[in-house]
Structure 1
Amino acid sequence: MSATGAKHTPFSLIGSDVTISGNLSATVDLHVDGVVEGDISCAALVQGPDSRITGHVVARSARLAGLVDGSISADELVVESSARITGDVTYATITIAAGSRIEGRFAHKDGAAPAAELKLIANDSAG
């Protein structure tokens, strides 16, 4: 299943052994487990916890779990607990898991639905 929830939507995978130097543009979903040194523009981005992106990210939806050094613009953004982000974040809806680290400014996208929200997820250590 793709990051956008469609069952048969094509996606591209950048494996953990791949390093790309240059900008990426994809009309489909993109899953990054490797290293990207450049800007990324795609429909939906899923970033693995051991990956690194050095550049700006623009996507309709993004689920980030690795290192990002650059700005992020997404309508729907999920920041996993393993994510480390250095850069400004622009969003319509955002979910931030406890344990993640973000150094930058947050800005809500203009023209987004009034129900846009900021969600912080607490870490339940009770088991």
Structure 2
Amino acid sequence: MGTIPVAKASSSSGSFSVIGGDVTITGNIAASTELHVDGTIDGDIACSSLVQGETSKVNGAIKAESARLAGTVEGSIDARELVILRTATIKGDVHYDALTIEQGAAVDGRFAPRGHGKSAVAPPVAASGDTGGDDEPKLSIAT
């Protein structure tokens, strides 16, 4: 599945792209400007700024400098500035620098400041069934 470049519309405050409520896109989206989504996206979104309408649904990861979410997201979110409105429903992990959540928003996932999620996680430990044939867990200490 490739990335779909989004056409830009011009306004007095800069350029932006709009995906209307009657539009469903299957595939990843990359936009260098503000993206306003009212439709359904089955894929990842990478953009400078994302504004999601209440009726919108995103089934994929979101990566943006700023995001204002009001619809449904099923996937991880990585944003420098994130606003989750009361109408939003999010199923996935959220990474942020600045976070605002309105009362009534539903989030099923973990919150972590950006940059802290990966470095703070301990390395995976081998499961007892993955020890080279015997059921005895193994521990090695480096000297």
> Structures share a fold, TM > 0.5?
yes
The count of aligned residue pairs is 106
By relative contact order (CA 8 Å, sep 6+), the higher-ranking structure is: 1
Q: Distance between the aligned counterparts of 2:56 and 2:114, measured in 1? A: 26
What TM-score does the superposition give when structure 1 sets the normalisation length?
A: 0.81
1:28 match: secondary structure: strand
Show structure 1 runs of 4+ deviating over 3 A: none
Q: Which runs of 5+ in 1 are unaligned?
A: 1-6, 112-127
What TM-score does the superposition give when structure 2 sets the normalisation length?
A: 0.72
Structure 1 residue 110 displacement after superposition? 2.7
Q: Distance between the aligned counterparts of 1:55 and 1:23, measured in 2? A: 8
> 1:34 aligned to 31, 39, 46, which one?
39
- Cα deviation code 1:91-118 (max 9, x no counterpart): 000000000000001110138xxxxxxx
Larger radius of gyration, structure 1 or 2?
2
Partner of residue 85, structure 1: 90
> 1:12 aligned to 13, 17, 27, which one?
17
Q: Which runs of 5+ in 2 are unaligned?
A: 1-11, 117-143
Partner of residue 104, structure 2: 99
Partner of residue 50, structure 2: 45
Q: Distance between the aligned counterparts of 1:110 and 1:14, measured in 2? A: 30
How high is the sequence identity, in percent, across the aligned residues? 51
CA RMSD of aligned residues (A): 1.4
